[in-house]
Structure 1
Amino acid sequence: MDQGRPRPDLIIFDCDGVLVDSELLSCRCLSEVLAEFGFQLGAAQALELFLGRSTKAIEQHYRDLGHTLPDDFLPRLKARVLETFAGALQPIPGVDTVLSESETPRCVASSSDLDRVSLSLDVTGLAPHFGGRLYTAQMVRHGKPAPDLFLHAAGKMQTDPARTLVIEDSISGVQAAKAAGMMVWGFVGGGHYRARDGRAILSAAGADRVFARMSDFWGA
């Protein structure tokens, strides 16, 4: 393991962009549903604004601009995302092997709703690796970049935050992990980083290490 540190007692995986290659799909859905309500936001801009954030952040963004999203916006967005994921979502290449070969306790901590995380793992065949160890922003008061979700997950897993490793793909996720006192590795192998310098982005956010292929998970 890198950094000359012992292996962690717990690995917390983000879901979107780490376990499943979902970020481009979800941003496209967001852009499409916003357009149906008269709000123009390109998928690339959605990625910049909301990568790693919860739906509360979307609502807050528009409130700050003086707009209130209609009551049926979130239900329609949720339905569109679930329908899209059911037909097109793929796991991150190599992640099943990493999970199969690792004996370190693991869980998921995601900004997405629990039913979206569950569907994502079911569709991609990754659900058996985690069982019921799924924690989401719905379970805490403050989502990423606040540390609440990661601290909640470590508490449920009865693990010291200082002995916990987080795998994240977003600035807000890296910041949340560091705020929780955890080691964090940035993963930039998702489709949303093909045209962006993910290494620079996540290193600047505070990631202890950045890698792009699951086959390099444990490093040299």
Structure 2
Amino acid sequence: MSKYKCIIFDCDGVLIDSESIAIGVLVDMANDLGANMNFEESLIGLKGKSLNSCMQLIEDKIGKPLPMNFEPDYRINTFEAFRKNIQPIKGITDVLNKLQIPFCVASSGPENKIRLNLDVTGLLPHFEGNIFSCYAIQKWKPEPEVYLWAAETMGFKPHECLVIEDSVSGVKGALAGGFDVFGYTEHDYKNELNPIATKTFSSMDKLLAMLD
């Protein structure tokens, strides 16, 4: 029997394979403004970062403020790309179907983005009513508030919950809130999670066995 009573999943990179799509759109838009960003390097360097911090980096590269319409255009472009290309993380549907304890999603993205991606990948029915967005509380990872909000709403204490994350900021935020956190390392290109997460795993088919 698992010592955990609830699981809090990150969304991007844990439930859905979205980060390469989103970063690709961001790089294309930034390069149209003269940022001269490399996709492979950006995929590593921007992984897990908030959109605000990514936009600040682009501003630093181009030496001027981004156009006022940059963020809304980015949302439109990514939503279109997600609808065409988004896929669930391999093995996650089987995990969700077999879990015997409550679970939810806590993400840095806005709720409409979370819902779109979960809907397109067929995962939304698993999370209806249990979606927690940093935008709702205006607190972003590595601050722990979104996890604390999720745990409290689900009816559990931090020590009763397990967080599943794939980014350094997410792992640090969960640990700061008093949670155990398992780092999903399939796309941990710089091997950053193993030294800081409670445990790590590289494929979803290993997760259920790790809960015992």
Instruction: Please report the TM-score for the alignment, with normalisation by the length of structure 2.
Output: 0.91
State the shift of 1:161 in Å: 0.8
State the shift of 1:79 in Å: 1.0
1:10 paired with 2:1, answer no
Between 38-47 and 157-166, the greater mean CA deviation after superposition: 38-47
Query: Quick one: structure 1 residues 49 and 137, their matched pair in 2 at CA, closer, same or farther if it must change by over 3 Å?
Result: farther
1:39 paired with 2:29, answer no
| Equivalent AA in structure 2 for residue 213 of structure 1 | S
Aligned to 2:194: 203
8 Å CA contact retained: 1:202, 1:210: yes
State the shift of 1:209 in Å: 0.9
State the shift of 1:35 in Å: 1.6
In 2, distance between residues paired with 1:152 and 1:69? 32
Between 132-141 and 93-102, the greater mean CA deviation after superposition: 132-141
1:139 paired with 2:136, answer yes
Aligned to 1:76: 73
| Equivalent AA in structure 1 for residue 126 of structure 2 | H
In 1, distance between residues paired with 2:66 and 2:144? 27
Deviations 1:81-134 (A, max 9, x none): 111110111111111110011121111111112111111100100001111211
Deviations 1:189-217 (A, max 9, x none): 3xx44xx25xx31012x111111111111
Instruction: Please report the TM-score for the alignment, with normalisation by the length of structure 1.
Output: 0.88
Aligned to 2:57: 61
Pick the aligned partner of 1:168 from 146, 162, 165: 165
| Equivalent AA in structure 2 for residue 218 of structure 1 | L
Residue 74 of structure 1 aligns to a residue in which SS?
helix
In 2, distance between residues paired with 1:156 and 1:46? 35
8 Å CA contact retained: 1:109, 1:134: yes
Residue 45 of structure 1 aligns to a residue in which SS?
helix
8 Å CA contact retained: 1:14, 1:168: yes
In 2, distance between residues paired with 1:85 and 1:215? 24
- Unaligned ranges ≥5, structure 2: none
State the shift of 1:62 in Å: 4.6
Between 139-148 and 10-19, the greater mean CA deviation after superposition: 139-148
8 Å CA contact retained: 1:54, 1:137: no
1:87 paired with 2:84, answer yes
In 1, distance between residues paired with 2:145 and 2:172? 12
The percent identity for this pair of structures is 37
Deviations 1:126-185 (A, max 9, x none): 001111211112022331111121112112212101111000010111111101110000
In 1, distance between residues paired with 2:132 and 2:152? 11
In 2, distance between residues paired with 1:216 and 1:32? 35
State the shift of 1:64 in Å: 6.0
State the shift of 1:63 in Å: 5.6
What number of residue pairs does the alignment pair up?
209
Query: Quick one: structure 1 residues 53 and 152, their matched pair in 2 at CA, closer, same or farther if it must change by over 3 Å?
Result: farther
Aligned to 1:215: 205
Query: Quick one: structure 1 residues 159 and 60, their matched pair in 2 at CA, closer, same or farther if it must change by over 3 Å?
Result: farther
1:99 paired with 2:78, answer no
RMSD of aligned residue pairs (Cα, Å): 1.8
8 Å CA contact retained: 2:184, 2:201: yes
Deviations 1:33-89 (A, max 9, x none): 112223222223333333222212223435666532111111111111111110111
